[in-house]
Amino acid sequence: MDFRYQEIVVKFEEKLHLLLKENKDLKQKNLLLEEEVRRMQEDLIEAKNSFSELKNQYDKLKIAKTLSLSDDEKKEAYRQLSVLVRNVNACIKLINNNE
């Protein structure tokens, strides 16, 4: 009977050591994952800042392009915009008539 208890205690100790090792490994893995998340968050912030800066530059380029249009290009753009506005107004009239 005493041998049986010793065997149980030995198996318990083995399992306990295994469990402690797995716990240690998981803690280490968790630290690595937390560090990776931190780096990814920093990368995301950097990407957002870069995107914002590029969007700002793009907006400035659009404004500069608009200002540098020749008179003929401005007239054509105005004409196309007028056509679009007329089309939208016609659609609104159709919708209002159908209601």
pLDDT reported for residue 99: 65
Print the SS3 string covering 31-64: HHHHHHHHHHHHHHHHHHHHHHHHHHHHHHHHHH
Given its phi and psi angles, is residue 40 left (phi above 0), alpha (psi -120 to 50 degrees) or beta?
Answer: alpha
- pLDDT tens, 2-44? 878 899 999 999 999 999 999 999 999 999 999 999 999 999 9
